[in-house]
Amino acid sequence: MEIEEVVLRIVETKLEREFVTSFGREHLRRAVILEISGEGLTGYGECVAGSGPWYSYETLQTVWHIITDYIAPMVLKKRMQSPDGFLEQVGSIRGHNMAKAAFEMTLWDLHAKRRGISLSEALGGEKDRIESGVSLGIQQDFDSLIGLIEGYLHEGYTRIKIKIEPGRDVETVAAVRDRFPEVPIMVDANGAYTLEQSHIFRTLDRYDLMMVEQPLGYDDLSHHAQLQRDIETPICLDESIPSLHRAYDAVALGSCRIVNIKPGRVGGHIKAKSIAGYLHRNGIRLWVGGMLETGIGRAHNVALASLREFTLPNDISASDRYYEEDVVDPPFTLEKDGAIMVPTEVGLGVEVSLDRLDEITVKRETLKP
């Protein structure tokens, strides 16, 4: 497989509903979309970096810079049998997992198309459907939150995740649990707390939560280990697991019982599979997280979630959860049993609408040898 052309776009599209976390508010989603062509085929991928350095130090601007000035020149006109060779070619670049992931995941779509198989099959997926959960941002009041949850449960979602932050935690969870005593519920703090606030999580033990996601700092493992010893609710790590080595440390320290793997966070599908395999063998339960992706990134997440190691409901919702009109056809939809079907067509398994991409593109650059 020879890489002949790389196209980068920054797209901007409005979210169906403002998404609020402890990081801030999002009502517009901006993303880098990649197209990589070779041998008459084109693969598509999406970068999960945000407009600002809130979730990660990487941003749309840093990703654009790293891909155009370093990654693309390293691989254009180079031959590789599979995406495995890509990691070796860019091994001299330290960090920048999101930029590498966007490129590597795009190569996986191209590789699957070259083999004439689905991306799920190329990755070793075994499931034909995946359980889907839904993530709700911080709401202005309890009634709004309760109303949203009722709506999503009616649609068929099997797990509800609510965002929390200091001052909007115990009372919020208590109200939700009181209204929905049997529904699987988890909370996500996005690293908004410190160990000195551990009493809050001991209180949350009362409410039979599936997990509390990333309660402490994004780069912390030791305090998470101490907190996990002090509370009954399983801790799920997200930002704290950017690599296999950090996964080793988390297991050794006992920092968590669950991990949310986002391929865009850890450097792509190959690294995600490696981390998932190690954690699964060591008794850590897994699910695939989302970052408000368009249908392109969503298709990649669905394919990864089809691997047997991912046993918990994933943060992969139907397309209309976030966007009125997606960039893929058909859009992803929720089945009555709360599952999303894994595409079986070649590559991503969905068609990318270039007309729709052109409509929402605010910046574009084509790279050739």
Q: What is the pLDDT of residue 24?
A: 56
The domains of the chain are located at 5-116+352-367, 122-341
Q: What's the pTM value of the predicted model, to 2 decimals?
A: 0.94
**247-267: per-residue pLDDT in tens?**
999 999 999 999 999 999 999
**93-121: per-residue pLDDT in tens?**
999 999 999 999 999 999 999 999 999 99
Which helix (H) or strand (E) element contains residue 64? helix 60-66
The pLDDT of residue 207 is above 60: yes
Q: Could you tell me the two tokens for 1?
A: 């497989």
The pLDDT of residue 179 is above 60: yes
Q: In the predicted model, what is the mean pLDDT of residues 219-226?
A: 98
Model confidence band, residue 80 (pLDDT cutoffs 50, 70, 90): confident
Q: In the predicted model, what is the mean pLDDT of residues 31-43?
A: 96
The pLDDT of residue 25 is above 80: no
Query: Residue 360 and residue 170: Cα distance in Å, rounded?
Result: 40
Under CATH, what is the fold of the domain 5-116+352-367?
Enolase-like; domain 1 (3.30.390)
Query: Residue 149 and residue 137: Cα distance in Å, rounded?
Result: 11
**Which residues belong to the active site?**
163, 262
Model confidence band, residue 242 (pLDDT cutoffs 50, 70, 90): very high
The gap from C-alpha 77 to its chain's centroid, in whole angstroms, comes to 30
Architecture of domain 122-341: Alpha-Beta Barrel (3.20)
